[in-house]
């Protein structure tokens, strides 16, 4: 009898928590995959600075955002298989603290030098970028772990919406309540997707 009750309790708990997981994922999706206030649409990208496909995609999404005059929202999603991408994301957050555009310039600088960058020379590239932008670059970039926490928060957002690859590119819109976001799996379809999402 006691064993039967325990089994019933475990089954009920698994059903209860199983039912909640999709709701949590939906909540995260609703929070992340929407344009900023006042914007009819936006491009949301989760990227890894050591990812070759992210390097190829970055200038395309940036140009699309400029062409359509819509926000480009970049999230750090460093993958564990890459040796230096996490450290690069923390450094990007350091440059974000000076200005978001400086942080994004650093991300693009890393992409443009990605083939030459290694875990051993990443810091020298960051120092060169800092010098070119007249920004001091401290010996310890993140002494209290606050920048790493920001990277972790971005990565957790990606995990919450079930990301498993980079880059993951979405076009999001406030004009389609039934379909507020679309993942662009073929980057050649980015402009067509934006056109469709911006229609009333």
Q: Is pLDDT larger for residue 154 or for residue 25?
A: 154
Q: Is pLDDT larger for residue 79 or for residue 4?
A: 79
pLDDT tier at 199 (50, 70, 90 boundaries)?
A: confident
Q: What is the pLDDT of residues 63-109, one digit of tens each?
A: 999 999 999 999 999 999 999 999 999 999 999 999 999 999 999 99
Quote the distance between the C-alpha of residue 152 and its chain's center: 11
CATH number of the 33-198 domain: 3.40.30.10
Whole-number Å distance between alpha carbons of 55 and 142: 25
Residue 19, pLDDT score = 36
188 burial (CB, 10 Å; 0-12 / 13-18 / 19+) is: exposed
Pair of tokens at residue 138: 């401290």
| Domain range summary for the chain, segments of one domain joined by + | 33-198
Cα distances (angstroms) measured from residue 100 to each of 91, 105, 112: 12, 9, 18
């Amino acid at each position: 009898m006691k064993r039967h009750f325990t089994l019933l309790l475990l089954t009920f708990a698994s059903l209860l928590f199983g039912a909640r997981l999709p709701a949590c994922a939906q909540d995260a999706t609703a929070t992340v995959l929407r344009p900023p206030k006042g914007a009819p649409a936006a491009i949301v990208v989760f990227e890894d600075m050591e990812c070759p496909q992210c390097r190829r995609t970055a200038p395309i999404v940036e140009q699309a955002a400029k062409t359509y005059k819509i926000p480009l929202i970049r999230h750090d999603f460093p993958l564990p298989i890459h040796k230096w991408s996490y450290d690069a994301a923390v450094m990007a957050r350091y440059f974000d603290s000076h200005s978001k555009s400086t942080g994004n310039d650093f991300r693009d600088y890393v992409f443009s030098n990605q083939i030459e960058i290694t875990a051993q020379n990443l810091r020298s590239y960051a120092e060169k970028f800092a010098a070119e932008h007249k920004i001091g670059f401290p010996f310890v970039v993140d002494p209290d772990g606050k920048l790493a926490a920001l990277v972790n928060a971005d990565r957790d957002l990606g995990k919450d919406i079930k990301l498993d690859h980079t880059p993951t590119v979405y076009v999001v819109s406030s004009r389609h309540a039934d379909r507020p976001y679309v993942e662009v799996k073929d980057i050649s379809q980015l402009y067509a997707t934006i056109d469709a999402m911006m229609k009333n």
